[in-house]
Structure 1
Amino acid sequence: MDKYEILKKIGEGSFGKIFLAKAKVDNEQCVIKEIDLTKMPVKEKEACQKEVILLAKMKHANIVTFYASLQEENKLYIVMEYCDGGDLMKRINMQHGVLFEEDQILSWFVQISLGLKHIHDRKILHRDIKSQNIFLSSNGKVAKLGDFGIARQLNDTAEFAYTCVGTPYYLSPEICENRPYNNKTDIWSLGCVLYELCALKHPFEGNSLHQLVLKICRGYFHPVSPRYSYDLRMLISQLFKISPRDRPSINSILRKPFLQKLVLRNLPLEVSILSFRGPIKSNLMPASIIQKMLNSI
């Protein structure tokens, strides 16, 4: 830890603290998670080690960058990128009831989806997608997925996990009913984030966990404002299909025509150049080209 100077504590959890720090060599700001391994049960220790392994694999513009990890005297330190815009929940609360413009919602949503695609393509479930785990940088223009504390790697995309994890507001019906689940549970949670961006509140709320679970399992939510486009409102309803198999995959979402321009804008330049050469003769690029581009990232 000699390479870093701690600036201030910015968070605390049951097993550790989160600090804003800077590297002594170049003064670049970063976030350091300090995890106290002495207080931690074996399962949680394993989860931490898994997080480090998973984070090291994740290299994407819409995923919080992992810098390093080190262990000193029963403490694990995870050094990560600092996102100066805070988390998405904080940004939603700053609206004080004033709805976001659709362009802003879709810009963030596409970026979050591209980050999730990177994860799902590697047969990893995030399992805790929520507005608190999405971070903003570059004056709020860039959205990044973070906190892989309970992510799980599947040996096969058809494999189902059984553990009940996640944050109650974002739980899918299959998790609430203790049924097996796969990457479509992340799609439900993604729907919860999209709804939150449109309505500035959770889609499913209750006075107790039991009431919340009932609402989630019925899949009933108040429609978002009609000021938003039909395409956006339809997408929300598709993400909230009770049956996981009826929900679109992340690739299907990113192929939707109304998201096409934003997908292209957020793809790395080299992907766009390699995947498509020549003029675009219509407003909509062929789905095959979009898919080719998505397969390149």
Structure 2
Amino acid sequence: MHNVPAFGYPTPPASPSYDDQKCTYQHPFAIPAVCQPRYPVRPEDRLGKFLGDSLQLVGILGTGAYGVVYTAVDIRNGTRYAVKTLSKYNADGSPLDRRQIAFQQRELRLHYLASAHPNVVSMFKIVDDPDCTYVVLEYCPEGDLFFNITECGQYVGKDDLSRSVFLQILDAVEHCHTLGVYHRDLKPENILVSNQGATVKLADFGLATSSDRSEDYGCGSTFYMSPECLDPSARRPFYYCAPNDVWSLGVILVNLTCGRNPWKQASFEDSTYRAFTRNSSFLKTILPLTDDLNDILGRIFERNPDHRITLAELRERILACPQFT
């Protein structure tokens, strides 16, 4: 869960294939029954490594708690790919336990299920290795949506582009929901960009679930969590994942149109969110929103998830909105 501000905020393939014979989808995390602790390979030590006969790791795109993402090139034709590594070992050298392995398997399974959609990053191949699993993914050279909003200034003040990009994200999320996949970590950092900012693709299914309800309170990134996800003391023993994803889309919509977050977190501890719950027009006093967009955000940021706007309704409202800011 991220607590570092992502934005400023107001104050007051076609179907992927598993064609590597060494890698079957059912067993991408095979670890020997007797396994001595071993320390993870340094990311730079993998540079130059070949996956199969022609795919070579040539650069490091990023590192995280669960692995490294590399740039890879198919030396036969120069095609670039992103390759995500999922380590089979913890930082102390101990092998992952069954629960950790199950989480990694879930991430691959759900991403694979969703990846045929044009606005989901394509998954091409899984390659098994003794210390990690390599996931060969579509390469998006322009980085993530966060970078394109904050550093490139791609979207703020450009209603047509913002509308197109937001609808692409919405389509990807609706596709996932239709398949019974709920992302639970929708945010600009998990959306990749190509085609000079005009095309976006949903990525990183590390927190995704196939259950339509969750007891994992605090799952995701704080700025993008719904109030029911943040509050384990709520009356219900669980929250529904679909409305939680819709809430996250609302924050992304504010990011795209205004270049900032509406609040730090959707709880009464946050003075901005508290003011919004008392006055549905409050966001208009701190953000350059039109009445139409303010009304849409009011439907998205409905505190009761049972009354929150659906994805189908949201698409209609976005298409009908003449101006965002």
Say whether the fold is shared (TM-score over 0.5).
yes
Cα displacement string for residues 10-49 of structure 1 (whole angstroms, at most 9, x for unaligned residues): 1111121111111233321111011211114433321111
Quick one: higher RCO (CA 8 Å, sep 6+), 1 or 2?
2
Shift of 1:4: 1.4
Of residues 208, 216, 223, the one that matches 1:163 is 216
- Separation in structure 1 between the aligned mates of residue 198 and residue 154 of structure 2, nearest angstrom: 20
| TM-score normalised over the length of structure 1 | 0.77
User: Which stretch has the larger CA shift, 140-149 or 21-30?
Assistant: 21-30
Amino acid at match of 1:38: Y
Amino acid at match of 1:230: D
Query: Where is the helix percentage greater, Structure 1 or Structure 2?
Result: 1
1:58-207 mapped onto 2 (5 Å cutoff): 58=114, 59-95=116-152, 99-154=156-211, 159-164=212-217, 165-178=219-232, 179=234, 180-182=238-240, 183-205=242-264
Report if the CA contact (8 A) 1:84-1:138 is conserved.
no
Change (3 A) 1:127 1:260: same
Shift of 1:167: 0.6
Matched, 1:256 2:317: yes
Q: Secondary structure at the match of 1:112?
A: helix
Of residues 19, 23, 38, the one that matches 2:89 is 38
Report if the CA contact (8 A) 1:55-1:66 is conserved.
yes
Q: Secondary structure at the match of 1:68?
A: strand
Cα displacement string for residues 83-122 of structure 1 (whole angstroms, at most 9, x for unaligned residues): 1221110011125699331112111110100001100111
Per the alignment, residue 302 of structure 2 pairs with 241
Report if the CA contact (8 A) 1:106-1:259 is conserved.
no
- Separation in structure 2 between the aligned mates of residue 130 and residue 217 of structure 1, nearest angstrom: 22
Aligned residues: 253
Shift of 1:128: 0.2
- Separation in structure 2 between the aligned mates of residue 259 and residue 134 of structure 1, nearest angstrom: 24
Report if the CA contact (8 A) 1:19-1:31 is conserved.
yes
Shift of 1:256: 3.1
Per the alignment, residue 112 of structure 2 pairs with 56
Identity %: 25
Change (3 A) 1:188 1:172: same
Change (3 A) 1:129 1:216: farther
Shift of 1:259: 4.7
User: Which stretch has the larger CA shift, 249-258 or 217-226?
Assistant: 217-226
- Separation in structure 2 between the aligned mates of residue 239 and residue 120 of structure 1, nearest angstrom: 17
- Separation in structure 2 between the aligned mates of residue 188 and residue 14 of structure 1, nearest angstrom: 26
- Separation in structure 2 between the aligned mates of residue 98 and residue 123 of structure 1, nearest angstrom: 30
- Separation in structure 2 between the aligned mates of residue 257 and residue 129 of structure 1, nearest angstrom: 18
Report if the CA contact (8 A) 2:154-2:197 is conserved.
no
- Gapped regions of structure 2 (runs ≥ 5): 1-50, 91-95
Matched, 1:8 2:62: no
- Separation in structure 2 between the aligned mates of residue 52 and residue 246 of structure 1, nearest angstrom: 32
Per the alignment, residue 29 of structure 1 pairs with 80
Report if the CA contact (8 A) 1:172-1:216 is conserved.
no
Alignment RMSD: 2.6
Report if the CA contact (8 A) 1:136-1:142 is conserved.
yes
Q: Which has the larger radius of gyration?
A: 2
Change (3 A) 1:152 1:97: closer
